[in-house]
Structure 1
Amino acid sequence: MNRPDPVPPPPGGVLWSLAGDIRGLLMLPAALTMQVAHPAVGAGVDEHSVFRTDPWGRGERSVRSLQMWVYGGDAAAEEGRRLRQLHRTIRGTDTHGRPYHALSPENYAWVHATGFPVYQHAVRYLHRPLTEAQERQLYAEWLRVGRVLGIHDRDMPGTIEEFWPYYRKVLADDLEATAVVQDLVATDRPLPPPDRGPLPLRLLLRAFWPVILPPFVRFRRFVTIGLMPPDARAVIGLPWTDRQERRLRRFGYVVRAVVPVLPERLRYLPLAREARRKARSAGLIGRRRDLARAGRA
């Protein structure tokens, strides 16, 4: 007997506010860097990913996939199956000589698990701190996303109380500054100009890329390290100063002031925006349903 497909998080939840908001784009590099700091995951990305040769295409596909997990409705489970199929052949040996497989429960669960501590930390700067109820709701919704991705309940901690010891153990036992981590926070590696978006914009960026690239990669490093939970950044060995912390707080203040007043067509990514429109038409969310109201039910 076939089991029903897992259901993504509900409209109006915490993830419906976070995952499609443009501020989520600032959080993704921190989560990705924590993922590849695990030697098995880092080796898989190093050997099988096109993040060096097609960084913009790889990023676009990752963002769209993440949107599907939350806003995809009936198509979310199909996206989860597609990802598992994609990762079936990703295997090899890490830099310590240990065999790895992308779908081994330890590796696959860690890749998913990183999203929760990054959200929990980064919203303090870019949104507002989560209440205890919102934090618990976020974790419950993140477990639902894990089921969409095909992660078994036995492979992820079932509660927040169980999550933090698991998280600290992975940090202490496994994480390190892998070659991919170093690439993701480097400011001296080649990066081609963006090849997505309207043609006039692409041509403009290509013309001025030598001028744009240095501040862009410095900013990427800044938000990658700054929006990573401090205990993770310390274990990986990524430096962070008090001065940088003050700059991040000032940056967060500006983001918190500007983004909430943007119209929805600018604030939310396309797939999320369309899902929110449909949910609003069905009476499932209000026009300004946001993180401040999520979690009060």
Structure 2
Amino acid sequence: MKTDDGADAPAPSRRAAAPAPEPPPPGGILWSIAGDVRVFLSLPPALALQVAHPAVGAGVDDHSVFRTDPWGRGERSLRSVLLWVYGGEEAAAEGRRLREVHKSIQGTDARGRPYHALTPANYAWVHATGFPVYRHAQRYLGRPFTAAQERQLYAEWLRVGRILGIHDRDMPGTVEEFWPYYRRILAEELDLTTVAAELVAVDRSLPPPDRGPRAVRLVARALWPVLLPPLARFRRFVTIGLMPPDAREAIGLPWTAAQERRLRRFGRVVRVVVPLLPERLRYLPIARRARAAHRTAPARSARGAG
């Protein structure tokens, strides 16, 4: 086929490129909770639940820098989560970046089975853990979700999965279909893997923070021998306590009635205090900027139309 000037025209594409998956909508449930400072409490149980899967635990054990660069790894993980929800056009790019990073992650798990990070069952489980943990943590740290809100949260979580390159066929399509899938993984796959045990250990060796204001880092370094033991105990407490009970039972993590009462008291304080914080303290920077931009967008559009 020739153009008007006689040059060869490019052959038409047989199939138009699929549009990039879109992040959850502004004003949705994830828009409200994913960038709230309470995410620091709900992320540890989600991470522990992920690595309790032998394939995922082996991938982290063999390939992650969580031991040598724990603060950097945590910062990058949190930024990635926030981009999925608040990143706009950056969300899809972040999803592609993550898949590229995971292409080389493979090996043999503790049960002697070969694994690859992008095997659909493994990759989907890592994502799936966020839904039951968000749901359970909300009962302590905020107002429990209604049945309609749970369905909305799950639908939004599926949208995030598409950003990560998870096909719809690899995740249950509804909340009702999710729970049998979830219980099957608990019963057949989960274990107290080496990495899961490390994440809840109180004697884990952790260096002082190497990020943040210099003055804070210097103080933390000087007081780290005193600060680390209570911080480690608190991390274990919220990691186990905010993990859904059936999950911690499947992994074999202990939890007592006295700990449950302490968690409920702690949750009541969090539920009262956090909503009173100004937005600059309540929401993390990526979330705060996205929320502010969304609020001002209608005003800018109105001015442009005028």
- Per the normalisation by structure 1, the TM-score is 0.95
Deviations, residues 218-242 of structure 1 (Å, cap 9, x unaligned): 0000000000000000000000000
**Residue 14 (structure 1) aligned with residue 35 (structure 2):** no
Q: Residue in 2 aligned with 1:202?
A: 217
Q: Residue in 1 aligned with 2:121?
A: 106
Q: Residue in 2 aligned with 1:139?
A: 154
Q: Residue in 2 aligned with 1:169?
A: 184
Query: What is the 5 A alignment of 1:87-106?
Result: 87-106=102-121
Query: Helix, strand or coil for the counterpart of 1:46?
Result: helix
Query: What is the 5 A alignment of 1:1-297?
Result: 1-283=16-298
Report the Cα distance in structure 2 between the residues aligned to 1:213 and 1:277, rounded to whole angstroms: 36
Deviations, residues 159-218 of structure 1 (Å, cap 9, x unaligned): 001000000000000000000011000011211001110000000000000000000000
1:264 is aligned with what amino acid?
Answer: E
* Alpha-carbon shift at residue 132 of structure 1 (Å): 1.0
1:139 is aligned with what amino acid?
Answer: Y
Query: Helix, strand or coil for the counterpart of 1:122?
Result: helix
Report the Cα distance in structure 2 between the residues aligned to 1:24 and 1:214, rounded to whole angstroms: 22
Query: Helix, strand or coil for the counterpart of 1:282?
Result: helix
Percent identity of paired positions between Structure 1 and Structure 2:
74
Deviations, residues 75-117 of structure 1 (Å, cap 9, x unaligned): 1000000000000000000111100000000000000000000
CA RMSD of aligned residues (A): 0.8
How many matched pairs?
Answer: 284
Deviations, residues 124-163 of structure 1 (Å, cap 9, x unaligned): 1001100111111000000000000000000000000100
Report the Cα distance in structure 1 between the residues aligned to 2:204 and 2:53, rounded to whole angstroms: 21
* Alpha-carbon shift at residue 19 of structure 1 (Å): 0.3
Deviations, residues 2-59 of structure 1 (Å, cap 9, x unaligned): 1000000000000001100000110000000000000000000000000011110000
Q: Residue in 2 aligned with 1:288?
A: none
2:260 is aligned with what amino acid?
Answer: E
2:159 is aligned with what amino acid?
Answer: R
1:128 is aligned with what amino acid?
Answer: R
Report the Cα distance in structure 2 between the residues aligned to 1:26 and 1:115, rounded to whole angstroms: 13
Query: Helix, strand or coil for the counterpart of 1:100?
Result: strand
2:266 is aligned with what amino acid?
Answer: F
Report the Cα distance in structure 2 between the residues aligned to 1:283 and 1:229, rounded to whole angstroms: 40
Report the Cα distance in structure 2 between the residues aligned to 1:22 and 1:224, rounded to whole angstroms: 16
Please say which structure displays the higher CA radius of gyration.
Answer: 2
**Segments ≥4 residues shifted beyond 4 Å:** none
Q: Residue in 1 aligned with 2:4?
A: none
* Alpha-carbon shift at residue 74 of structure 1 (Å): 0.8
* Alpha-carbon shift at residue 283 of structure 1 (Å): 4.0
Query: Helix, strand or coil for the counterpart of 2:107?
Result: strand
Report the Cα distance in structure 2 between the residues aligned to 1:153 and 1:188, rounded to whole angstroms: 41
Q: Residue in 2 aligned with 1:287?
A: none
Report the Cα distance in structure 2 between the residues aligned to 1:164 and 1:97, rounded to whole angstroms: 28
* Alpha-carbon shift at residue 282 of structure 1 (Å): 1.9
Query: Helix, strand or coil for the counterpart of 2:260?
Result: helix
Report the Cα distance in structure 1 between the residues aligned to 2:43 and 2:242, rounded to whole angstroms: 9
